[in-house]
Structure 1
């Protein structure tokens, strides 16, 4: 059975500033782990997240839900300037598609 920290969203990237690889976790944006290899950076951030989860549990703090476990409706509201709304409406009309479809297309790019 997978541990809860195995379900989080991890990423390893190069940090030019630190001249090392940095391990990150999307659900814990304040945490990072620097290492000389990508493998060590991933191992380090996973261990750090596990320790933080344990500490949060002991202190009865709310532990973030892994993004991978969340359900998404596919709906969200976005506020845009009226001129952008008009421009999108025109593009949708000229293309013969709905405003929703053109906005979805642009967001997915």
Structure 2
């Protein structure tokens, strides 16, 4: 594969593990989940982002 790419002047893709990530991504969730997360954030006096990040980390 890499020989074929080199022959045509293409650059091989960077492996996923070596890519840089911004830490941002957009995700759409049901309205009920958004509400539940927002309420949990308010009860804990933290941001919605923090609650969502913590829950994603545990998943």
TM norm. shorter chain > 0.5: yes
TM-score by length of 2: 0.78
2:33 pairs, out of 69, 79, 84, with 84
Q: Which has the higher contact order (CA 8 A, sep 6+)?
A: 1
**Greater helix percent: which structure?**
2
**Greater strand percent: which structure?**
1
CA root-mean-square deviation? 1.6
d(CA) in 2 for partners of 1:81 and 1:62?
A: 40
d(CA) in 2 for partners of 1:75 and 1:83?
A: 22
- Corresponding pairs, count: 58
List gaps (5 residues or longer) in structure 2: none
d(CA) in 2 for partners of 1:80 and 1:57?
A: 42
